[in-house]
Amino acid sequence: MKERIKNMLNFKKRSLVIIAAAVALAAVLIVGFAVNRADETSEKWDRRPMIMVDGQIYMDTGKQMAIEIDDSAILGTITSSVDGTEKPAKNGESNFGCEGAQYALYDGGLVVMLQNEWVFFEGEMKRGDKSPVSEIDFAGIQAKRLTQHLLDFAEIPRGEDLRAQEYSGDWDGDGKADRAYFSEEPTQAAGYNYRNRVVAELGNGERIIADSDELEQMSSWGGSFLIESADLTGDGQNEILLLIDLGGQGGRGSFGLYPYVRMGSGWMLMDAPHHGFPLALDYKDGRATVTSGDYSETVACDALLTAHYAASDNKYEREQVKGKDYHEEYAADSICDIALKQESGRTVVKVSQYVAGITGVHVDGLGYLVTTLSWSANGRYSVDDMYFVFMP
């Protein structure tokens, strides 16, 4: 516990070396995970130290405040704690222990008395909050996000660039062998002689057909897909998810998400963000703001981009973004990959979308927008979480 407190108080003093380390982390982790993935998928990662007060999450900044707080301003003390991998869920709860520590509101945030020093905690970034973050904070947070992203989306063998056209398995969970495949069918559509389909033939005789004419109003797809299954609605029966190549470029390609739910003796397409979420990108003064709906986050990426360009010896693109402002209304691909995870006793789907870089081309990509989706019993989806992973 003392060591955790010491690390938390030294948050501000961490070396800027972590900035360069975050860039190099991708290559290192990919190699390490290929060898140790079986052991590390169960590993949990500590979150940033935080506390909940009046329903608001406040997060450690590492800043020690040389201030005096009147006793009348003390709001309360830390009364309980959760593990460092979790977020506090009730007032007076922290994820770093220190029960009994006093806290008070200060300068738009919170100060907590730790080892006889007031330490400043800032309000958790809410959707719509475009406040910039520091280079050090960003690098540390992004290093953990990158680690988790690589764990989440490398857990299931995908094949090369999701290019498989046929799979076998038991997706409805009835113990009978199922088969799914990509096919071309004749069509009378103008300019095409065929249309594409993904067909899932279940062992009980049922079929799911995802037809390009019906889903996309176009007659040609890219030719590959991914199939997954899980009980998303909590009714004890598996839903079947198809991630289908729509023929786009960038990232792993432009893929659409189509989840099906059993209805009586057939299967019906569920509510879903079939093409993911649009994302706008603004770049100014070395900071990139990524915005999707009411989610917005500003990331201090200049130092990391500099290291990225230096490593790739890409002086041309580096000069393009130096000292320039940039705006792109459509900076994200459609869904590139999905991962099924167990959270709080239910199955959620994490969606990863490739984010184009500041020059507007995918080769200069910034990283990924990761969105966690869940489905209610009536088959309606909701967005549980959304965050950006810097991964140039």
Q: Span 300-304, mean pLDDT? A: 67
As a whole number, the mean pLDDT across the chain is 75
Q: Look at residue 170 in the predicted model and tell me its pLDDT.
A: 94
Q: What is the DSSP secondary structure assignment for residue 299, as one 8-state letter?
A: E
CA angle 275–247–27, rounded 5-degree value:
80
**pLDDT tens-digit readout, 344-389:** 888 999 999 888 776 655 556 678 899 999 999 988 999 999 998 8
264-295 pLDDT tens trace: 878 999 999 988 898 898 887 777 788 998 88
**Contact (Cβ atoms closer than 8 angstroms) between residue 356 and residue 372:** no
Backbone conformation region of residue 276, classed left if phi is above 0, alpha if psi is from -120 to 50, else beta: left
What's the chain's Rg over C-alpha atoms?
Answer: 24
Give SS3 for 202: coil
Comparing C-alpha atoms, which of 257, 248, 274, 256 is closest to residue 356? 248
Contact 226, 309 (CB under 8 A): no
Does the pTM surpass 0.85? The reply is no
Phi, psi at residue 311, to the nearest 5°? -65, -35
Average pLDDT over residues 65-91: 88
For residues 75 and 92, give the distance between their C-alpha atoms in angstroms, rounded to a whole number: 10
Mean of pLDDT values over 107-127: 81
Residues 6+ apart with CB under 8 A from 321: 283, 305, 358, 359
- Closest by CA to 100, choosing from 78, 117, 116, is 78
Half-sphere exposure of 73 (CA within 13 A, CB side): 13
- When pLDDT is averaged across residues 328-340 and rounded to a whole number, the result is 86
Helices 135-152 and 17-40: crossing angle in degrees, nearest 10, is 20
